Amino acid sequence: MGYCKVWQPYREAVKERYPLVLERLEQIETEETVKQPYLDYFRRGASFLRRLGGLEKEVTSGAWDKKSLEEMSRQNYSLYEEILPEHYGESYGNPEYAVLKLGEPYGKLLGALYADLRSLIPYAYEGRIYDITIFSELLVEIYNLFEQEELPEEKEVQQVIYWFFHDYGEVFTEMGVMAQTNPEMDFYTRIIMDSDLKDLRYLYRYGIYISENEKKTAEFLNRMSEEQIQAMADTYTEGYRIGFEVTGKELSKKKFADLRYPIGFERMMRAAVKNFEKMGLQPVVMRTGELSFSGRGNGSGSIVSVSPNRQYEYDHKSDRALYLDKALVERRLEVLKTAYEARKKEASWYGGPAVVETFGEAGFEPKANPYAWQFDEKQQKLNVYYSNQAMQVTNQYIKGEERSFTIIAYPIPEIGPRFEEIFAETVKVNTLDYQLYRDMQQKIIDVLDEGESVRITGKGKNTTDLTVALYPLKDRSRETAFENCVADVNIPVGEVFTSPRLQGTNGHLHVTQVYLNGMKYLDLEVDFKDGMISRYSCKNFETEAENQAFLKENLLKHHETLPLGEFAIGTNTTAYRMGMEYQIQDKLPILIAEKTGPHFAVGDTCYSLAEDTPVFNPDGKEIVARDNEVSILRKEDLQKAYFNCHTDITIPYDELDRITVQKKDGAWVDVIRDGKFAVPGTELLNEPLD
């Protein structure tokens, strides 16, 4: 298929440099000018980079396409073999091993660099010889420091890496913006549209780790009828279209739909691309999250497969701490703005992401690695600052009030022997009668809109006792506080949600076990005082200090506190029943899990950056609860208003006692009683619970 023409100027830029650095890499593998144990590290790194260079040549020349399926599979395995769990203990990609072999401080520094070198594997398949060249030059520059009589100072090595990312960060940032705004970056689109999808060799064209999940998923979709595939694609693309329609946004102004999907779903995506073309939309696909610079391991990749080793990703998620400082952040923001300014017309055509997620992968309980990089307090604040500022820059060119999204999820074979049954059930869940749910949810909203607050209590081992203050309505005939979510952007159907008032929102939230962003949390407890997190704890690790650090990084996203940005009641008891029947409650993605009970999102509201855009329910009432006391600060200072995160925490029905509305006259009305819906007209919701 070759490489996309966007890369040609970059290829020309290193046309003479690559042969020179390749020759130097070859010399590293034979000469003895660096002492052990460092020589082994540099030889292994040089060998790996040479291999990637050879692979890139093989791919771009067309020779790679002549390989058999078995050859491609063996090659894919060998590229990732070193970091698979069974081999991770002896990989320089393991911070603990790197420090054990190379000592402090070199082990941490060179281990992080090694992970960045490994991030280049997919780039070889894309024809990005530019990236392979500059990282090869970086390795050689650091190698030269170790050729000296005395070992280099830690600061010398750190500074070389720092200036590399300072200088080349401009290219990485520009490429990120380009991927959003240029359909000519069509590497993935061509895989979807031009491959023989019955020939599973196409799976290896991505250069991403291919597990049995991707192979079996592709085989399964190949057995489905055209009608079944088209129905899945229609649900996905119609959700995207309706998302614009129900929010009053003009889809006709957009030209690009951002595809995000798991490998193995190409047959569905091909049908989806054709659907989008009928809407006047071309596919764009972002590549983010591989390099430390762009946040490796943060789940932001657009094209995904089952990870070869989630502990490896967890160990390297904060490698940017090696070089992050204020000057680098300001430089990155400056480049981001320049890149968007150069493509501001194209940026205005970006419609938003259309996401397919998967679920069923075995749960991940991260282990703390004392040798992994961690952000210090100053860097944590810089991360928060960058996220807020980057969000604001992006919103200048891709306006939140003009874009939309959709998201849908399906299981993967790892979910168990009943995969095909679960897949069929998931399709049913994704296509439930939205009109039926719309009407039942409206009855729930009518009760909620009578209240000043809602009290949520758990039962059994669940100790939740939380009061959520509701936005005061001025005219109930025209206004509502809750959105009636009927499976447009957020598939499947099944929730009503609001942005709570923070003042008066107090109490204790508890879930005995929950998966958030793929990570398992045990006995997660969060206390709120006037809507802000005042205390948090879990039981993932042995010490309270480890638990606090884990939560601050992964739940609070380095913020000191977060507001309760959303309160919702999930109504999809059919999805809940599916989870119980197949014993997959712990594997359901948040997209589905949030519909299986009340959920509470910490961070920004659901209307972040679009609060001034009127939103209406199917009954014509305007949803006026779009702001809270924090988000409204955007009118004074945007930096104080947003946190650039939104994490849903769901209490399942079996841990739920009551959800009770307190009315203005002091009366109490149950929405849920003993885990069952109590509002007249919602009895059908209880049938799957029986």
- How much is the pLDDT for 100? 97
- How much is the pLDDT for 517? 79
Q: Are 441 and 496 in contact (CB under 8 A)?
A: yes
Q: For residue 666, count other CB atoms closer than 10 A to its CB.
A: 7
**Quick one: CA dihedral 355, 359, 361, 364, positive or negative?**
positive
pLDDT tens, 274-296?
999 999 999 998 765 579 998 77
Q: How far apart are CA 653 and CA 522, in angstroms?
A: 18
Q: How far apart are CA 630 and CA 531, in angstroms?
A: 10
- Contacts for 327 with CB less than 8 Å, ≥ 6 apart: 166
Phi-psi region of 467 (alpha: psi -120 to 50; beta: other; left: phi over 0): beta
677 in helix, strand or coil? strand
Residue 324: which of 379, 390, 381, 372 has the closest Cα? Answer: 379
- How much is the pLDDT for 250? 94
Residue 493: which of 558, 417, 441, 555 has the closest Cα? Answer: 441
Rounded to two decimals, the pTM is 0.89
Q: How far apart are CA 404 and CA 615, in angstroms?
A: 13
Q: How far apart are CA 505 and CA 435, in angstroms?
A: 32
Q: Domain residue spans in the chain?
A: 5-152, 432-689
Q: How far apart are CA 619 and CA 484, in angstroms?
A: 9
pLDDT tens, 130-139?
999 999 999 9
Own/partner pairs, 519-526, CB within 8 angstroms, 24+ separation: 519/364, 519/365, 519/366, 519/554, 520/363, 520/364, 520/365, 520/586, 521/555, 524/555, 524/649, 525/463, 526/555, 526/600, 526/602, 526/649
pLDDT tens, 610-647?
898 888 998 999 999 999 999 999 998 877 899 989 99
- How much is the pLDDT for 309? 95
Q: Which amino acid is at 326?
A: K
Q: How far apart are CA 56 and CA 106, in angstroms?
A: 30
Q: Which residue ranges in the chain fall short of pLDDT 70? A: 1-2, 287-289, 297-301, 487-488
Q: How far apart are CA 129 and CA 113, in angstroms?
A: 18
Q: How far is CA 42 from CA 92, 102, 121, 482, 664, in A?
A: 10, 11, 18, 58, 71
Torsions phi, psi for 120 (to 5 deg): -85, -5
Residue 213: which of 414, 74, 417, 78 has the closest Cα? Answer: 414
Q: For residue 527, count other CB atoms closer than 10 A to its CB.
A: 16
